[in-house]
């Protein structure tokens, strides 16, 4: 998404607000266990564009940066104290009713299209009666812990996946270096009542954190929650489309939540800009269909798959997943090229042209097929090489 940020002119602000990761991702065991580095994925670079780093920054800061830039636009407006009540659609417009939080005053809006970015519990999605298909993980209650601690002094790079059947975690910087905020995403037994979670934290952190004892850290925030793998059965109903969490949810361990929602917005912006032209105004239905099918397919075939695999990689004791994890680490440790390949897949950019001509689409299909064959051949070679070295 950083290439999209660059197009919008917000990349520099995002980089300043967060931490520029040029170190990649490290897989390791808990500091309170064997405290070993298992494998590493190096920094990546997309096949197109010049950005060869990631940025780790909290969502509130990203939101504030976007809001600040958007407020410079003459027609941009945010309306607070406005709760969605309902909508109905006619041949030309969607009519939306909102009310204040007290429910004493209603306001009505009409627009050619409505984009519902109203979160996981999306009242708009519910009003449209669009099913939210999938499941909720019940093996762990997830914890998001914002913590001030000097992981850097103990050899922790910016992003770490801690592998363990009980004390699994993602430990990553969540701010720039000066602020020193880190985020730990981990899990706790679902049998522990939510009001008792806080007293279990010191023991959990004792097993996870490196450094001499007694540990000296400051907890900035703790958020317990249930993680989900869900997707709307359709991202579109008439002139209304779903975007972000209203359309899909996945566990956060592979960092594909906010980034996937931003990709939704980037694709939708390309298509909406075509709709609001004299030539494109009659093509709005086809354009919204393209958005809905393209983004849902990407979520189901790529994002959801990677999110589920990433969670299992962290803690599963199932023989099948343990073998896959060990094979993955073995390939990373014995093939520098495999690590660079994995890193590059995390950096790929969105296409600017979402509807290429038939000839361009055919050439693109051939190029994609050849690329896939090449990737399969390289992976087979890397697997073979890892098995004999």
DSSP3 helix / strand / coil % (the chain, rounded to 5): 45, 20, 35
Quick one: pLDDT band at residue 156, thresholds 50, 70, 90? very high
Please answer whether residues 159 and 21 qualify as being in contact, where contact means their C-beta atoms are separated by less than 8 angstroms.
Answer: yes
Neighbours of 91 (CB within 10 A): 5
CB 47 within 8 A of CB 348: yes
State the first-to-last Cα distance of the chain, in angstroms, to the nearest integer. Answer: 37
Mean pLDDT of the chain: 91
CA angle 39, 262, 176 (to 5 degrees): 55
Q: For 237-276, write each residue's pLDDT tens digit.
A: 999 999 999 999 999 999 999 999 999 999 999 999 999 9
344-365 pLDDT, tens digit per residue, is 888 878 888 887 666 655 555 5
pLDDT above 90 for 18: yes
49-68 pLDDT, tens digit each? 678 899 999 999 999 999 99
The Cα 291–Cα 243 span in angstroms is: 10
Say what the pLDDT of residue 366 is: 58
DSSP codes, 251-311 = -GGGS-SHHHHHHHHHHHHHHHHHHTSTTTGGGHHHHHHHHHHHHHHHIIIIIHHHHHHHH
Q: Is 253 exposed, middle or buried (0-12, 13-18, 19+ CB in 10 A)?
A: buried
Q: State how far the Cα of 385 lies from the Cα of 23, in Å rounded to an integer.
A: 25
Q: What is the mean pLDDT of residues 28-42?
A: 95
* Cβ neighbours of 160 (radius 10 Å): 22
Q: What is the pLDDT of residues 125-146, one digit of tens each?
A: 999 999 999 999 999 999 999 9
d(CA 48, CA 336): 21
Burial class (CB in 10 A: 0-12, 13-18, 19+), 72: exposed
Average pLDDT over residues 277-301: 94
Closest by CA to 333, choosing from 27, 52, 23, 44, is 27
Strands 240-242 and 236-237, sheet pairing: antiparallel
Peptide bond into 168 cis (omega under 30): no
Provide the pLDDT for residue 216. Answer: 95
Averaged pLDDT, 199-224 = 96
DSSP 90-140: -SS-EEEEEE-TTS--EEEEEES-EEE---TT-HHHHHTT--EEEEE--S-
- At 342 the three-state DSSP class reads helix
pLDDT recorded at residue 347: 82
Query: Does 317 have pLDDT greater than 80?
Result: yes
pLDDT value, residue 351:
82
**What is the Cα–Cα distance from 318 to 326, expressed in whole angstroms?**
12
> What was the pLDDT predicted at 19?
94
Residue pair 238/89 in contact (Cβ under 8 Å)? The answer is yes
How far is residue 174 from each of residues 146, 178, 292, measured CA to CA in Å? 8, 11, 31
Q: Is the four-CA dihedral 269, 275, 279, 285 of positive or negative sign? A: positive
Residue 352 has a pLDDT of 81
Cα separations in angstroms, 48 against 2, 41, 52, 344, 351: 12, 20, 10, 10, 10
pLDDT of residue 259: 94
Classified as helix, coil or strand, 246 is helix
Taking CB atoms within 8 Å and a gap of at least 24, the contacts of 110-114 are 112/239, 112/275, 112/284, 113/239, 113/240, 113/241, 113/272, 113/275, 113/284, 113/288, 114/87, 114/239, 114/240, 114/241
DSSP character at residue 240: E
Element (H, E) at 186: strand 181-188
Cα 344 to Cα 42: distance, rounded to the nearest angstrom = 9
The span from the CA of 284 to the CA of 296, in Å, is 18
Distances (CA, A) of 236 to 59, 110, 143, 304: 26, 18, 32, 19
């Amino acid at each position: 998404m950083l290439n999209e940020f660059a197009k919008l002119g917000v990349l520099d602000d995002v980089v300043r607000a967060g931490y520029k990761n040029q170190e990649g991702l490290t897989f390791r065991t808990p500091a309170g266990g064997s405290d070993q580095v298992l494998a590493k994925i190096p920094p990546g670079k997309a096949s197109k564009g010049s950005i060869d780093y990631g940025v780790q920054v909290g969502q509130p800061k990203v939101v504030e940066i976007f809001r600040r830039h958007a407020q410079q636009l003459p027609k941009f407006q945010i309306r607070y104290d406005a709760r969605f009540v309902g909508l109905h659609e006619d041949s030309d417009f969607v009519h939306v009713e909102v009310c204040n939080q007290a429910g004493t005053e209603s306001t009505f809006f009409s627009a050619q299209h409505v984009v519902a970015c109203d979160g996981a519990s999306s009242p708009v999605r519910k009003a449209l009666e669009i099913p939210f298909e999938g499941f909720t993980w019940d093996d762990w209650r997830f914890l998001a812990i914002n913590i001030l601690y000097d992981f850097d002094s103990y050899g922790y790079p910016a992003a770490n996946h801690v592998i363990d059947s009980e004390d699994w975690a993602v430990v990553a910087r969540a701010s720039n270096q000066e602020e020193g905020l880190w985020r730990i995403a981990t899990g706790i037994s679902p049998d522990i009542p939510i009001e008792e979670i806080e007293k279990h934290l010191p023991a959990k952190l004792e097993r996870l954190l490196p450094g001499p004892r007694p540990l000296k850290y400051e907890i900035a925030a703790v958020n317990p929650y249930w993680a989900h793998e869900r997707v709307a059965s359709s991202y579109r109903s008439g002139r209304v489309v779903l975007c972000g969490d209203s359309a899909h949810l996945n566990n956060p361990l592979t960092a594909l939540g906010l980034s996937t929602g931003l990709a939704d917005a980037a694709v939708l912006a390309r298509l909406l800009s075509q709709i609001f032209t004299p030539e494109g105004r009659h093509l709005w239905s086809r354009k919204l269909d393209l958005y809905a099918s393209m983004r849902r397919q990407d979520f189901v075939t790529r994002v959801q798959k990677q999110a589920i695999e990433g969670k299992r990689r962290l803690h599963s004791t199932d023989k099948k997943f343990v073998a896959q994890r060990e094979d993955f680490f073995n390939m990373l440790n014995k093939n520098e090229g495999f690590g660079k390949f994995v890193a590059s897949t995390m950096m790929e950019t969105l296409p600017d042209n979402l509807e290429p001509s038939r000839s361009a689409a055919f050439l693109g299909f051939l190029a994609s097929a050849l690329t896939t064959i090449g990737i399969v051949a390289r992976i087979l070679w890397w697997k073979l090489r890892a098995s004999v070295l």
